Amino acid sequence: MHCLGNSKAEDQRNEDQAQREANKKIEKQLQKDKQVYRATHRLLLLGAGESGKSTTVKQMRILHVNGFNGDEKATKVQDIKNNLKEAIETIVATMSNLVPPVELANPENQFRVDYILRVMNVPDFDFPPEFYEHAKALWEDEGYQLTDCAQYFLDKIDVIKQADYVPSDQDLLRCGILTSGIFETKFQVNKVNFHMFDVGGRHDERRKWIQCFNDVTAIIFVVASSSYNRVIQEVNQTNRLQEAPNLFESIWNNRWLRTISVILFLNKQDLLAEKVLAGKLKIEDYFPEFARYTTPEDRQLRMVRLSRYIFSIMQLGSSQGLGYKEPHE
C-alpha cells in the first residue's frame, strides 16, 4: 500500500508538472501574440459608397501581397462584364432622357440603342457577340461620347469580349462592385505589419460595426473627389460630395472612435481633373460657393484650388483643425 501511494503521488506530481509546462507555453504564446498585436497597425477604411475604399484595398494587395492569382482574376471576369454592361446602359438611358435628348451622330445606330434598352433588365445575361458589337458602335458614335470612369471598360470592349480574357491588375482596380460585410487585408511594408479593414454595406449596417473597431491605429476616410456631380444610391438624390462631410462628421464625433487618429484621403483626383478640364461639368453648378472660394497662401492653380476647396468642405465636419498634405504623383 505504501508503494502504491508513492506511485499515485508521483503521477500527480508529473501531471502537475506537465500542466505547469503547458500553462507556460500558453502564456508564452499569449505574450508573443500580444506583442505582435501591439506591433501591428490596424487601419479602418471608411467613406461613402463608391468612394474607392475597395480599390484602395486592392492596391495594397497588388503592391504588398503578391497581387491576385489566376483563379481570383477568373472570378472577376463576370463582374467586369457587368461593369461594361452597366456603363453602356447608363449612357444610353441618360442620353435618351436628357431634354433635349442627345442625338446620335449616326441615326442608323438607333436599332443598337433599342437593343441595349431591351436587354437592360435581362437576368443572367450571357453576353452574346452582338452585345459587344452594339456597345462598341454606340461608344464610338460621336453623339454618345462621355468623359467618365465608364470610359475605361468601354474602351476595352475588344479585349473583354475575348473567350480567353484575363483581367489585368488595372482592370481589377477599375472593377466596381457593391460590397457588404467586413474585409480584412494583411500586408507588410518595410517589415511593419498592417491590417486593413474595409467596412462595406449600407449606412445602417456600417453604424452597427463601427464600435467594434475602437482599438484601430487610425481611420482612413476616403472621399471620391470626382463625385461632385453624382447622387448617392443609398440616399436618393443626395449629392455624393455633400453626403461625405455628413458621414465624416458622424465618424469624427463618434464616442467609440474619439481617441483614434483620422486620415482624410481625397481619392480619384485623376477623374476629378478629367471632368474639370473637360469643362462640361462645372463644380460651380453643384457647389455655387466654389466661385467665391480662395485658396490659402494665394495658391491659384486650378486643381490645387479645387482640391483645397473639397478639403475645406470635409473640414467642416471636424471640431478640430485637420492638417493638409499636398497631393503628389
Task: List residues forming the annotated binding site.
Answer: 50-55, 173-179, 267-270
52: left (phi over 0), alpha (psi -120 to 50) or beta: left
Q: Are strands 231-232 and 238-239 parallel, antiparallel or unpaired?
A: antiparallel
Confirm if 187 and 175 have CB atoms less than 8 A apart.
no
**Residue set of the binding site for GTP:** 50-55, 173-179, 267-270
Confirm if 293 and 283 have CB atoms less than 8 A apart.
no
> Residue 27 and residue 56: Cα distance in Å, rounded?
37
Confirm if 194 and 217 have CB atoms less than 8 A apart.
no
Confirm if 193 and 39 have CB atoms less than 8 A apart.
yes
Tell me phi and psi for residue 142, to 5 degrees: -60, -25
Edge-to-edge strand ranges of the sheet holding 182-189: 182-189, 192-199, 41-47, 218-224, 261-267
Grid coordinates representing 155 are: 474602351
> Residue 59 and residue 152: Cα distance in Å, rounded?
17
Q: How far is CA 73 from the centre of its chain?
A: 18
Sign for the CA dihedral angle at 239, 242, 245, 246 comes to: negative
Q: How far is CA 286 from the centre of its chain?
A: 23
CA-derived radius of gyration, the chain: 27
> Residue 47 and residue 38: Cα distance in Å, rounded?
26
> Residue 173 and residue 63: Cα distance in Å, rounded?
12
Residue 221's CB is within 10 A of a number of other CB atoms, namely 24
**Residue set of the binding site for Mg(2+):** 54, 179
